[in-house]
Structure 1
Amino acid sequence: MNGSMNNWIRTSWPTLAIMLGASVWGMIWYPLRMLAALGVTGTAASALTSGAGCLFVLLVRHRAIRTVRWHWLLPALALAAGVTNLGFVWGSIHGQVMRVLLLFYLTPAWTALFAHFILHERLTWTGAALAALSLAGAMAMLWSPQIGLPVPASLAEWGGLVGGMGFAMSNVLILKTSRDLPEMKAEMRTATIFGGAAIFGACASLFEAMPNPPTGAHLGTAALLVMGLGFLLASNNMLVQYGVARIPANRASIIMLFEIVVTALSAWLFAGEMPGPREWTGGACIVLASALSSWVHRTRSQSGSGAAHQSAA
C-alpha cells in the first residue's frame, strides 16, 4: 500500500508542478497590464522581465554555470523561446486577443509532430483522443460566431500561431536537452529560455514606440514590478521544467492548457469578466483531459513496473 502511494506521489508531482506553473502564466496578464498602465509597452515589458529573470537565475545559481557545455540545442532552445515570447506578446497587442489565444493553443498538435520527429515519441490513439478533448475545450472557451474559425487573417494572428509552434518546440527541446545534456542543471535551461526571450523582446521593442514612458514615482514602481515579475517567472519556469523533464511532451502540452482555465477565472476576479457556459464547459474539458492524461500515465507506469518485476523474477 505504501509503495503504491509513494508511486502515485512520485508520478503526480510533475503534473502538479506544470499545473501550478500554468496557473502563474494564467494570471501574469494582470501585472503586465499594470506595467502597460505605467507606460511600459508589452514588448518592452517582456524584454525587461525576461532579462530580469535571466539575471536572477544566473546570480542565484551561478555555480551551475560550470555545467553548461556548448550544444546546438541551447541556441535552438533560446530561438524557440524567443519566437514564443515575440509571437504571443506581439500578437496579443496588435490582434484580437481571443483569436490569437485560440491559434496559440493549437500547441498539442505541433507538440505531437515535433515530439515524433525529435524525440521519437509514438502518438497513441489514447494520446490523440486526449489532445482532441483538450482542444475541444479550448475551442469551446475561445470560439464565437463573431471570431469564426481559427485561420490566421492578419500578421498578428500569424504571430499567435507561430508563437504556439515556438511554445511546442520549446517544450520538446527542454525534454531533449534534459536527456542529451544530463549534467547541465535545469536552472541553466531556464537562463537560456529567458535570455532568448529577452533578446527577442528587446529587438521587438525597437519597432514599438513608447509614447508615455514612466517617470518619477511611476518609474520606481515599474522597476519594482519588473524585478518582481522576473523573480516570479524565473522561479515558475524552473518549477515547470521539473515537470516537463519527467513526463512525455504530448502529455505536458495538454496539462499546460490548464492556463486557459486560470486565465478565465482571473479575468472574472480581477477584471469583472464573468465566464459564461462556454467557458465553464471548455474549462471542464481541459481539466478532464489533464486528469485522464495523468491517470493513463500512472497506469502505464505501474504496468511497466509490474512487467519489469515479473521479468526479473
Structure 2
Amino acid sequence: MTRGLHNAWPTLAIMLGASVWGLVWYPMRMLAAMGLTGTAASATTSGAACVFVLLVKRRSISTLSWHWLLVALGVAAGVTSIGFVWGAIHGQVMRVLLLFYLTPAWTAIFAHFILKDRLTRADAALSLLSLAGAVTMLWSPELGMPLPADLAEWAGLVGGMGFAMSNVLVVRITRTLPAMKAEMRTAVIFGGAALVASLATLFEPMPTPPAAAQLPAVTLIVIGLGIVLAANNVIVQVGLARVPANRASIIMLFELVVTALSSWLFAGEVPGPREWAGGACIVAACVLSAWVHRTRASHAPSGPEPPDIAGREPESKKKSTRAMV
C-alpha cells in the first residue's frame, strides 16, 4: 500500500459510510413497494444488523448489565430509525434529510441538560443558524407558518432529534460506563431500534402485505441491508479512529451530496431554490460546529481527553456508532 493511499483510506472509509447512508432510502422504498411498511422495514433491517453484530463481534461483547442509559439509548435509536425510514419512504428525500440534519440545534440543547455542558454563545448562534436554514426551506407565503408540510417531514425532524439525543447519550454512557466497549453500544443501538420499531408496527397497518412470491426477495433485501449497515458501521469506526473528529464531521456531510444525486436519479426529485438556500445554512452550521469544537479542543487544558459531542472517543480509542435503520 502506497503512503498516499495509506493516508487517504480512513477518509475514504468515512466517505463510503456516508455514501451508504445517502443511498439506503432507495432499498427502503423498494421494500415499501413490496408491501413492507416503514416501521416494519426499520424493525427487520435493524434486527438483522443487530444479529450480525452479535455474531461477528461475539468475542468482544460481554454480558449486558441493566442501566437506564442503555434503555434511553435504545429508545432514541428507535426514534431515529423510524423517523428517517418512514420520512424517506413517504416524503421528499432531500427535505427529510435536511430536517434530519438539524442536529447542531438539538445537540446543544440536549447536551446542556443531560451532560451539563454550558450553552455558549457559539452553540446558540449555530443552533439559530441551522434553525434559520429550516425556516428558509419550509417557509412559503401560501403555507404560512414555516412548519413541516406533512407527516414525512415531521418524521425527519423528530428522527433528527432522536439522532442528536443518541449522540449525547453515547457520550453520557462513555462517562458513566467507561468499561463498555463500542461493540456493545452498537448492539444496543441496533437492538433498541429493532424493538422500538417492532412496537411501532402495531400502530401502522400493513394494507398490502408482501405476496408469497415476493417474500424471498423481501427477505433477501432485509438480510442484505442489515449486513451492509452493520458492516458499514464497522468500516466507519475504523476510519473515525484515524481521522480527527472535527474533520470527520465535515466529511460525513458527503451524505447530503449522495442523497441529492440519488434522489434526483432514482426518484426525479430536484431541490428548489429554497431547499438549496436552507440546506446551505444547515450545512454551514454543521461545518462551523466542527470548527468550534476543534478550537475548543486546542485551547483545552492537558489531561484525559473526553469523548466529543458526536459520541466519538479520543483519538487513541475513538469509536462511533450510527444506526439509522
Same fold (TM over 0.5): yes
Alignment partners' CA distance in 2, 1:239 and 1:194: 16
Tell me the residue number matched to 2:4: none
2:289 match: 293
Cα separation, partners in 2 of 1:258 and 1:128, compared to 1, 3 Å: farther
CA distance in 1, matches of 2:42, 2:138: 24
1:5 counterpart residue number? none
**Residue 298 of structure 1: how far off its partner (Å):** 3.0
Contact 2:135–2:147 (8 Å) recurs in 1: no
Q: Give 1:301 deviation, angstroms.
A: 3.0
Aligned residue in 2 for 1:182: 178
The percentage of aligned residue pairs carrying the same residue is: 70
- Is 1:198 the equivalent of 2:219? no
* Alignment equivalent of 1:71, drawn from 67, 70, 73: 67
C-alpha change, 1:238 and 1:222, in structure 2 (3 Å) is: same
Do the aligned residues in 2 keep the contact of 1:260 with 1:283 (CA within 8 Å)?
Answer: no
1:119 to 115, 120, 128: 115
Match of 1:230 among 226, 232, 238: 226
1:145 is displaced (CA, Å) by: 4.0
SS across alignment from 1:63? coil
What is the alpha-carbon distance in structure 2 between the residues aligned to residue 271 and residue 157 of structure 1? Answer: 17
- Matched AA of 1:57: V
1:228-256 Cα shifts (integer Å, max 9, x gaps): 21122223445667859x859xx999987
Q: TM-score, normalised by structure 2?
A: 0.72
More helix by share: 1
Q: CA RMSD in A?
A: 3.9
Q: State the alpha-carbon separation in 2 of the partners of residues 18 and 59 from structure 1.
A: 24
After superposition, the Cα gap between the structure-2 partners of 1:254 and 1:286, relative to the gap in structure 1 and judged at 3 Å, is farther
Please say if 1:279 is aligned against 2:275.
yes
Report SS of the residue matched to 2:62.
Answer: helix
- Matches of 1:153 and 1:267 in 2, distance apart? 19
- 2:234 maps to 1:209: no
Q: Residue type matched to 1:193 in 2?
A: I
Q: Which runs of 5+ in 1 are unaligned?
A: 1-8, 309-313
Matched, 1:24 2:20: yes
Give the corresponding residue for 1:264: 260
Q: Distance in 1 between matches of 2:271 and 2:207?
A: 34
What is the number of residues matched between the two proteins?
Answer: 293
Which stretch of structure 1 is more off in the superposition, 177-186 or 21-30?
21-30
Residues 182 and 25 (structure 1 numbering): CA distance in 2 closer, same or farther, change over 3 Å? same
- Please give the secondary structure, in 1, of the residue aligned with 2:203: coil
Q: Deviations over 1:70-95 (max 9, x none)?
A: 32211111122223333454566678
Q: 1:52: how far off?
A: 0.4
Amino acid at match of 1:81: A
Shift of 1:38: 1.9
Distance 1:163 1:228, change over 3 A: same
Contact 2:77/2:163 (8 A) holds in 1: yes
Following superposition, the deviation at residue 262 of structure 1 comes to 4.0
Q: 1:92-148: per-residue Cα shift (whole Å, max 9, x none)?
A: 667887886676554433321210121122222223323333333344445444554
Deviations 1:150-170 (A, max 9, x none): 447887776555444322211
CA distance in 2, matches of 1:91, 1:273: 14
Tell me which amino acid in the other structure corresponds to 2:264: W
Aligned-partner SS, 2:65 = coil
Counterparts of 1:42-61 in structure 2, within 5 Å, are 42-61=38-57
C-alpha distance in 2 between matches for 1:135 and 1:258: 21
CA contact (8 A) 2:98 2:279 kept: no
